[in-house]
Chains A and B, each alone.
Chain A
Amino acid sequence: MLTGGLVSAIAARRRTLPGFGLTMGLTLTWLSVIILIPLAGLFLKSLELSPEQFWNILSSRRTLNALRVSFGLAFAAACVNLVMGSIIVWALVRYRFPGRRLFDAIVDVPFALPTAVAGVALTALFAEKGWLGAPLAALGIKVAFTPVGIFVAMIFIGIPFVVRTVQPVLQDLDPEIEEAAGSLGASRWQTIIRVILPSLAPALLTGLALAFARAVGEYGSVIFIAGNLPNVSEIAPLLIVIRLSEFRYADATAIAVVMLVVSFVIIFAVNRLQRWAQSRIPVR
């Protein structure tokens, strides 16, 4: 009965509103021209390489080190963002303090600030004579022009992803579940670990994945502070740029394909996570 009504309603909608064919045609055409064909070109180009060539490029010391720096530091930075992002979300959603709205708005700065600006600003801040670099240097910690600098830039770029993914979920969390846990004798810590954390898990993992994906591919905010020493502080996107400038297109393509495949895996994982999250939204 209900399904029958739904189907006829959909059919009626199809009939009444015009322009589906035209707008869908334009959408698919434009999507193909701007996104799909260029990306397909990259994969096609990589097919020109024999598996052996492909492997030789990827297993060269410099490539491996660049991939290790990018993926390793991006994962470490995403983990820091997961923890710090959770603390920030908790403070913004659960507590009232002066400047709360301002700090809430400020979380989006890494989204909005052009990456090159972030890059020069972080470098100036963490350079040996910078506001934060000087006291850190006194403690014997060198940040700018070392892998630590890359780590710092990746933390900067990733923080909004965790906050903006987790914040709405914590806001919508049913307060009665917590109260029930509390009145049944759970300690506050038990309630957070056993009740709240599982409800936030899909959002936390999504935030982690998005921050990681962004940091892996990040270029502008990293290259100024990185030092860009081959094998030590050279990120994979920079190595692509260097190979391009040397006209070693095969090398650039091979590295790019590996990074793209990882991006696609992350998109797939995030889609799965979101489906998981939707299937377990508590009914208010």
Chain B
Amino acid sequence: MTMQIAHSGPLISSDARARAREALTRDNLRTEPKAVRIAIITIAITFLTVFVVLPLVVVFTHAFSKGIAAYLAALAEPEALAAIKLTLLVAAISVGLNLVFGLVAAWAIAKFDFPGKTFLITLIDLPFSVSPVISGLVFVLLFGAQGYFGGWLRDHDIQILFAVPGIALATTFVTFPFVARALIPLMQEQGTQEEEAAISLGASGLQTFFRVTLPNIKWGVLYGVLLCNARAMGEFGAVSVVSGHIRGETNTMPLLVEILYNEYQFIAAFAIASLLAMLALITLIAKTVLERHLDEGEDASDH
């Protein structure tokens, strides 16, 4: 019991402190013996350290194992720069498409009632449960040489597979649900009163959306874009299937990590990997900050 109190410093919310104080006044009905508590905390910390912290640390130690100069040289390789550029381009396309889709879908789903809503949300969620490899395969079956549109594309000299459009399509597929899923619950919770007021005061639909709805959901939009972007830049399986691995042309950063690693160019592989790991860490920090904003917004609307 005393241990719970001792560590509730200024970082712990007043809510938690109140809870701790309340727990003190009650009996030991809701906790375990100290030895059990310590054992559980130790197991949790050890597990997370071995499976999550150490892999992250390994990436950076390997990347810098031959010094900063070697690290920077690996990143300055034309192949690396091409991969970084392609990754940014593909992420921009798929995040842009999914942002527009997410806003449109969330408006239809959150602001109106219609039958089959749950089913529609399940369909939007589908890419989360499809193997990345299958997400790439479906586009090979559509646009590949033997695919349904393969012949037509060849006749019209349009390249989708093994080129940017195919990579962008596969990435859009895997990141499809992120923005919509971030916005739908948020907009459902906010209801339609503010929008209805704006409309009855003579605002047009678009004015209402940009002046009333968008300011209310801006943190949610940012949250969805953040997660969508992280996945778009890091996607490996789906992109691997449609990219064709043309060096300097259709290799994104994750694909280049694979190629360099398989060629035993470990410094270069881990240097690129470290950029992606940094992206993941920055995403997580930004996510934590945004979640605080979103919680505050929720509290504000509660009162």
Binding site for B on A (CB under 8 A): 10, 13-14, 16-20, 23-24, 26-27, 30-31, 34-39, 41-42, 44-45, 84, 87-88, 90-92, 94-99, 101, 103, 105-110, 112-118, 120-122, 124-125, 130-132, 152, 155-156, 159, 175, 178-179, 182-183, 188, 213, 216-220, 224, 237-238, 240-241, 244, 247, 249, 252-253, 256, 259-260, 263-264, 266-267, 271
Q: Is the beta-carbon distance between A38 and B173 smaller than 8 angstroms?
A: yes
Residue of A39, A42, A114, A249 with most chain B CB atoms under a 10 A cut-off: A114
Q: Is the beta-carbon distance between B108 and A27 smaller than 8 angstroms?
A: yes
Q: Is the beta-carbon distance between A252 and B108 smaller than 8 angstroms?
A: no
Identity of the chain A residue whose Cβ is nearest the Cβ of B172 in the assembled complex: A34
Q: Which of A37, A38, A41, A115 contacts B234 (CB 8 A)?
A: A115
- Interface 9-mer from B66-74, B132-140, B216-224, B293-301: B132-140
Residue count of chain B within 8 Å CB distance of chain A: 107
Q: Which residues of chain B come closer than 8 Å to A94, judged between CB atoms?
A: 31
The A interface, classified by DSSP as helix, strand, loop or mixed, is: helix
Q: Is the beta-carbon distance between A183 and B112 smaller than 8 angstroms?
A: no
Interface residue ranges of B122-159 to A (CB < 8 Å): 122-127, 129-134, 137-142, 144, 146-148
Whole-angstrom distance between the alpha carbons of A267 and B133 in the complex?
A: 18
Asked whether B111 is an interface residue with its Cβ less than 8 Å from the other chain, the reply is yes
Q: Which of B33, B105, B108, B134 contacts A259 (CB 8 A)?
A: B134
Q: Is the beta-carbon distance between B44 and A188 smaller than 8 angstroms?
A: no
Whole-angstrom distance between the alpha carbons of A31 and B114 in the complex?
A: 17
Q: Which residues of chain A come closer than 8 Å to B133, judged between CB atoms?
A: 217, 219, 237-238, 240-241, 256
Q: Which residues of chain A come closer than 8 Å to B111, judged between CB atoms?
A: 13, 17, 20
Q: Which residues of chain B come closer than 8 Å to A110, judged between CB atoms?
A: 52
Q: Which of B130, B205, B255, B270 contacts A19 (CB 8 A)?
A: B205
Q: Which of B40, B59, B118, B137 contacts A121 (CB 8 A)?
A: B59
Asked whether B24 is an interface residue with its Cβ less than 8 Å from the other chain, the reply is no
